[in-house]
Amino acid sequence: MTEREQPTSEATNQQADDALHRALHETWRNPTGWRVLAAVNHSTIAQRFMLTGGAFFLIAGVLAMLIRAQLALPQHDFMGAEAYAQAFTMHGTLMMFLFAVPMLQGIAAYLLPKMIGARDLVFPRLSSFGYWCYLFGGVIFTSSLAFELAPDAGWFMYTPLSSNAYSPGINSDFWLIGITFVEISTMAAAIELAVSVLRTRSAGMALQRMPVFAWAMLVTSLMIVIGFPPLILGSLLLELERAAGWAFFDPTRGGDPLLWAHLFWLFGHPEVYIIFLPATGLISTMVPVFAGRPLVGYRWVVASLIGIGFLSFGLWVHHMFTLGIPALAQAFFSAASMLVGIPTAVQIFAWLATLWTGRPRWEVPMLWIAAFLVVFVAGGLTGVMLALVPFNWQVHDTHFVVAHFHYVLVGGMLFPLLAGLYYWLPHMSGRMPSKRLSRAGFWLTVIGFNGTFLVMHWTGLLGMPRRVYTYEPGLGWEWPNLVSSVFGFVMAFGVVTVLLDLALHWRLGRRAEVNPWKADTLEWATAMPAEAYNFASQPAVHTRHPLWTRPGLPAEIAAGRHALARGVAARETLGSSPVAARPTELIVLPGNSWLPFQAALLIALLCICLLLKAYGLAALLGAAAALVLLRWSWVNGDHPGYGAPHEEQEAVTEVHGVVLRPHTHGFDGPGLWGMKFTLLADGAFFSSLLFGWFYLWTVAPGWQAPAKPVVGLWPLLAVSGLAVAASGLMGNGVGRLRRGEGGGLAWRLAAAGLLALGASGGLALLGGTLDLRPHLQAHDAIVAVTLLYLGFHTLLAGVLALMQAARVRAGHVGLRRPYEPGVVAAFCHYTAGACAVAWLAFALVPRGWA
DSSP state for residue 519 in the 8-state scheme: -
pLDDT band at 1 (very low <50, low <70, confident <90, very high): very low
DSSP-assigned letters across all residues of 797-822? HHHHHHHHHHHHHHTSSSSSS-HHHH
Q: Which tens digit of pLDDT belongs to each residue from 739-772?
A: 999 889 999 999 999 999 999 999 999 999 998 9
pLDDT in tens, 91-112: 999 999 999 999 999 999 999 9
Least confident of 382-386, 666-670, 693-697: 382-386
State how far the Cα of 501 lies from the Cα of 435, in Å rounded to an integer.
Answer: 9
Other CB atoms within 10 A of residue 761 CB: 16
pLDDT of the residue at 4: 40
Average pLDDT over residues 431-441: 90
Q: Is the pLDDT of residue 3 over 50?
A: no
State the chain's mean pLDDT as an integer. 91
Question: What pLDDT is recorded for position 730?
Answer: 96
CA distance 218 to 196: 9
Residue 720: HSE in the Cβ half-sphere, 13 Å Cα cutoff? 17
Q: What is the pLDDT of residues 618-666, one digit of tens each?
A: 999 999 999 999 999 999 887 777 876 655 556 778 887 788 888 888 8
pLDDT at 808 over 90: yes
Give how far the C-alpha of residue 200 lies from the chain's centroid of Cα atoms, to the nearest Å.
19
pTM equals 0.95
- CA angle at residue 319 from 79 to 54, to 5 degrees? 55
pLDDT at position 581, please? Answer: 95
- The phi-psi region of residue 474 (left if phi > 0; otherwise alpha if psi is between -120 and 50; otherwise beta) is left
Give the Cα separation of 826 and 835 in Å (integer). 14
How many whole angstroms separate alpha carbon 20 and alpha carbon 22? 5
3-state secondary structure of 616: helix
pLDDT at 318 over 80: no
Instruction: Provide the pLDDT for residue 347.
Output: 95
User: Taking Cα atoms as reference points, which of 644, 472, 660 lies closest to residue 584?
Assistant: 660
Flag whether pLDDT at 415 surpasses 80.
yes
pLDDT of 25 > 60? The answer is: yes
Q: What is the pLDDT of residue 639?
A: 79
**DSSP letter, residue 524:** G
Beta bridge partner(s), residue 465: 398
In eight-state DSSP terms, residue 398 is B
Task: Indicate the pLDDT class of residue 321, thresholds 50, 70 and 90.
Answer: low
How would you class 263 by CB atoms within 10 Å of its CB: exposed for 0-12, middle for 13-18, buried for 19 or more? buried
**Cβ atoms of 637 and 817 closer than 8 Å:** yes
Is the CA virtual torsion 789, 790, 796, 800 positive or negative? positive
CB 27 within 8 A of CB 533: yes
Which of 234, 315, 240, 268 has its CA nearest to residue 92? 268
Query: Residue 15 has what pLDDT?
Result: 80
Cα separations in angstroms, 198 against 110, 208, 249, 273, 826: 17, 12, 40, 21, 19
Q: In this model, does residue 699 exceed pLDDT 70?
A: yes
Give the pLDDT mean for 271-299.
95
DSSP H helices in 410-509: 415-429, 435-461, 478-508
DSSP strand pairing (571-576 vs 658-660): unpaired
Percent of the chain whose pLDDT exceeds 70:
95
Helices (H) and strands (E) in the chain, counts: 27, 4
The answer to whether the beta carbons of residues 449 and 377 sit under 8 Å apart is no
Specify whether the CB–CB gap between 534 and 525 falls below 8 A.
no
pLDDT of residue 424: 96
Residue of 171, 138, 154 lying closest to 92 (CA atoms): 154
Q: Is the pLDDT of residue 263 over 60?
A: yes
> Parallel, antiparallel, or unpaired: how do β-strands 583-589 and 653-655 relate?
unpaired
Mean pLDDT along residues 210-236: 96
Q: Each residue of 499-538: pLDDT tens digit?
A: 999 888 888 888 888 899 999 999 999 998 899 999 999 9
Give per-residue pLDDT as tens, 235-257. 999 999 999 999 999 999 999 99
